[in-house]
Amino acid sequence: MSLSSIILEKANQYRDYTARNLSRLVQTKSLSTKEENVIHLIESMMKEAGFDEVFIDGLGNVIGRIGNGKKIIAIDGHVDTVDVGNINNWSFDPFSGEIKDGFVLGRGSVDQKGGVASFITAGKILKEIGLQNDVTVYFVGSIMEEDCDGLCWKFIVEEDKIKPDVVIVTEPTKCNIYRGQRGRMEIEVSFHGISAHGSAPERGKNAIYLAAHSLIEIEKLNERLMADEFLGKGSVTCSQIVSNSPSLCAVADYCRFHLDRRLTFGEDKKLAITQIEELVKPFDGKVEVLYYEETSFTGKKYGMEKYYPTWKLELDHPVIKKGIDAYKQLFNSEPIVDKWTFSTNGVVINGLFGIPVIGFGPGDEVYAHAPDEKCPVDDLFKASAFYTMFVQSF
C-alpha cells in the first residue's frame, strides 16, 4: 500500500475522532487573553494522542512535539476566537459543538479550531506510522491572535527560541493551498484645535473640521494606492472618530481618527506613514502607529507594534511546490492555489522573520467572525491527511 493510501485510510479511520475533538474545542469558550481552559484541553488531547512532548510556554501557547530531527516543521492554529455578536443572528447555540449533517457547528469551528483538531489527528497518525524523515514537528495552539496577529509567534521565535524551516498555517482555506495575504496597520491621527463658544465658532479652531478635511484627502488616497497582481490593491479606511470639547456648546478642541490600512506587496510601514503624514500636515495632524500590549492568562505582559507586514511566496517556491505535490499524491487532483482575504499569523512568521509559510485549513473563511459558523467534517479529514503527508514528504 502506498504512503498516500495509508495516510488517507488513517485519516478516514479517525474522522469521527477529529470531529469530536473539534466539538469539545468549540464547547470550550476561549476569547483572546482568556484561552486557559482550551489550552489545557489541547494539552490533554496532545498527550492522549501520544506526542513526544507537550508544554505550555510563558505566554500561554501550547506546543506539542513529535520527532527530534534537524529539519523543523511547525503547524500553527490559533485557539482564541472572537465573541458571538448578536445572538439573535444565530440559528443554533454558538457553543454547542453539535455534529450535524456533516458539519461541526459553533464559534471557532472554522476560525480556527478546526485546524487544531486536524493537526492533533495528524500527530496521532504520525506517531502510529512513524516519521519517515529527519524532522522535528511542532504543533502549536497559539493565543491572542484575534487581538494581535502574530504576537504569539513573536514570542515563540524570540523567547522560546523555536525557528522552524517552514510553518503550515491552518486558517481556513477550504482545503486549498494559500501562499500569501495583504498586511495591515493600525494608525491613529490626532488633531488639536482651540475651543470657543459655539455661538461664535470663528473665534476658535475646530479640530473636527481639521480631521474632516484630512479624511477627504485620505478617501482620495485609497483610490490611488498600489496594486499587486496576486494580492490585489492596498486600501485605507477610517474606522473610528473620537472628539472632545469643553461642552456641547463649544468648538471641539480635540479630534482623532483610527485608520485601517491594508498593505499590498511592495507597501510597507514607512510608505504608509509617509503617505498619511503628507496629507494631514496642512491640518497639523499627528500620525502614530498604535502599540498592542496585554497580559495573557499566564500573567505575562507582552506586546508589539500594530504593523503586520505583507507576505507572499511565489508559486514556484519549494514549500508551495512541496504542498502541491503532497496534495496531488493524496487526492489525485490539482489544488487551487490562492490567498487569504484577511490577516493571519503569517504576518510575523514570514512577514517579520522570513520563515516560509504555506496555508492549508478546513472550512470556508466566509464563516470567520460570522453567525452560524460551521466546519465540514470532510474538510477535517482532508486537512489531517494533508498535514501528515506534508510532514512525511518534507
Based on the fold, state whether residues 265 and 382 are members of the same structural domain.
Answer: no
The verdict on 19 and 122 lying in the same domain is yes
Indicate whether 233 and 106 sit together in one domain: no
Q: Are 184 and 261 in contact (CB under 8 A)?
A: yes
For residue 82, give Cα distances in angstroms to 228, 261, 273, 371.
Answer: 30, 21, 29, 11
In a domain, 40, yes or no: yes
Asked if residue 229 and residue 266 are part of one domain, the reply reads: yes
Q: Is the domain of 114 the same as that of 165? A: yes
Per-residue pLDDT, 258:
98
Domain CATH code at residue 209: 3.30.70.360
* Structural domains of the chain, count: 2
- Residues near 188 by Cβ (< 8 Å), separated by ≥ 6? 256, 257, 258, 259, 287, 288, 290
Does residue 177 sit in the same domain as residue 64? Answer: yes
* CATH code for position 336: 3.40.630.10
10 Å CB burial of residue 130 (0-12, 13-18, 19+) is: exposed
256-291 residue pLDDT tens? 999 999 999 999 999 999 999 999 999 999 999 999
Q: What is the pLDDT of residues 282-328, one digit of tens each?
A: 999 999 999 999 999 999 999 999 999 999 999 999 999 999 999 99
- Residue partners of 321: CB distance under 8 A and separation at least 6: none
Same domain, 188 and 149: no
If asked whether residues 171 and 287 sit together in one domain, one would say no
User: Does 283 lie in the same domain as 243?
Assistant: yes
The pLDDT tens digits for 1-19 are: 899 999 999 999 999 999 9
Q: What is the pTM of this model?
A: 0.95
147 burial type by CB count under 10 A (0-12 exposed, 13-18 middle, 19+ buried): middle
- For residue range 340-362, list pLDDT tens digits in order: 999 999 999 999 999 999 999 99
Please say whether the beta carbons of 298 and 159 come within 8 A: no
pLDDT for residue 133 is more than 90: no
Q: Which residues are catalytic?
A: 80, 145
Host domain of residue 285: 183-295
Domain-ending residue, one of 241, 263, 295: 295
Mean pLDDT of the chain: 98
Mean pLDDT of 117-138: 96
**Cross-strand partners of 73:** 137, 166
Domain boundary among 272, 295, 318: 295
